[in-house]
Structure 1
């Protein structure tokens, strides 16, 4: 065969019939790109795989005769740079010294497989794992990976995710069910890099959801964070706001709310945004609906809070918006990008839009964050109790300690009133 590019689509594998990939394909010495979809790969011991020029290989829903087949197939590709594998089995990949792009779909991946990334693929730059199942913790160590994309709905709540990727430039993490127990980057790029975190709204509801989201954002704190929340129908849920006092306020480049207002009650939407704004300060908020419902909820929310000195209703204020100073709106589908100050006058022009973007300006007053004060005051109370139960404490020392505590409480009350 003298062709350099071959795309072969065979009958999908079934219990009754399965097309077999012709054996002469494995001896195509001129092939540079090979795409196989469906069918079955069988390699007898006498069959030799010879792809001396092959640089790109894609195996989609291909049935394998045995686990060793794919290793034999790839061992005959010394120049392979791009590999895409989508099979519903556990596989083992051989060393591929020239590989730069690797995409794995629907595979079961264990810790030992990922632990060999830097050894097996020393030039790997782009790694994607889509709809894969993970056995044990997710650990990836590679000095060359620049683009990392993970999309899964099969990750356990106890899974720990850790990356050692000093060359990372872009990280995508899409989860739809459970949040991992932790997310950390042992080392990251000294250059500017960005992260894109996507999740279902079910993952970040309630106290545990907000705390779990805080762990993920903390792990991404050295990057420019882009957060996307996919909102469908939401059941009622509760927050224990006292659990939020120790959380960190995160800077987010853009918060995207996808499919908002799909039958979601306004009070539930209010609670969802209240939890998000207690956790992050987005510079941009993009709301895009795939339904005919307009983007009016978030618009009304900003007006209620008296943003831009318009109709303030303090009874409905969100605590996280207390430092928001100005908001501008932009219709995404407009030919000319125009930012409009969010006021009552712009209500008629923007309220019926399905896709709208808001630009948020936050006030940095330099005051001590609320969660930091509570954390320090909590540590002070612990120290107070330790001294109180000590047998060596004297009455005048107890009076001095209680006076300090009273002054701290009064100072904090004045700080809250000034808000």
Structure 2
């Protein structure tokens, strides 16, 4: 309700009517839906159902109950409620059961399994038919996508009919699906939001194009700062962690004292072909010397850089290949983003904690992208230049740089 009172744009009719009332929201919503729209079946509640899947990890019964209740606040029709239950349960299942990026995934199976959480056999059978119909269709077949059923089917059809790219950049499937939805016409932004929630459960935020992440922002509420992609990621992680007191990230204001105590505070940074690379200890110096863009490859707090400095925290985890399913794609998006920054005449600082693994990996990818060195030579050169040759990229990180080289040579791009 606070958000609504700030005057956001493009609020749906039903949502606007509910939030503008003076009675308690649940009471107001139920009354409005009952008396004004006996069978409201718009796509609004399905569009916003994605975060519900994060509330009760691997507890489909609880997710189904919450999805049902939240949909009924504004969209109480059976079609709306059923669609939200199915989509939310499928997101949770996909998030916890999808295999590695290179392994095919049956997008319809979690949805078909979720029909057991619908209340009647008739509704279950109907949705089995609707799901199966969408898996072999094109999103353009569902022209009335302002209606929740067609929005559901259009999103699923776009996901299933878009091939996953060959080569190392499988996560580009996200971008290709969303572009297909936009070209299908109709209520494209809503259908894209619906599809994006399920796609995100499979591919993760690291599959989002870097340039999209730069432009993503929220709506200003009162005098609060406008939120951006990093803030949205922080909110999602916070919901997923359910406020675990043993894990202060992502809401911790700063990690710098911990990093300095654990890894030392010796700053190091070096310019490589127009971009500065270094460790977290050099962050303050880089900003003081005019860096207006910081790309962090490690955990960072909410208050690490001054206002006015563009800051991105990329999900590059210094552990193993399984924790980095989109690493070649992440490196591709990073180096293409660095290209754009140079065109904008921005001063960029890229860093991880100690510049031992992730930073030299990124620097090597940058050299490969610029075609200054081949992958193996770039990995050695980046390690030497950053004085981390005794560490250097781990095997899976080096493999990602070589996969990027293969992709950029045209041997592993999208089919």
Q: TM-score, normalised by structure 1?
A: 0.27
- When Rg is computed on C-alpha atoms for both structures, the one with the higher figure is 1
Q: Which has the higher strand share?
A: 1
Specify which structure has the bigger relative contact order, considering alpha-carbon pairs within 8 angstroms and separated by 6 or more residues: 2
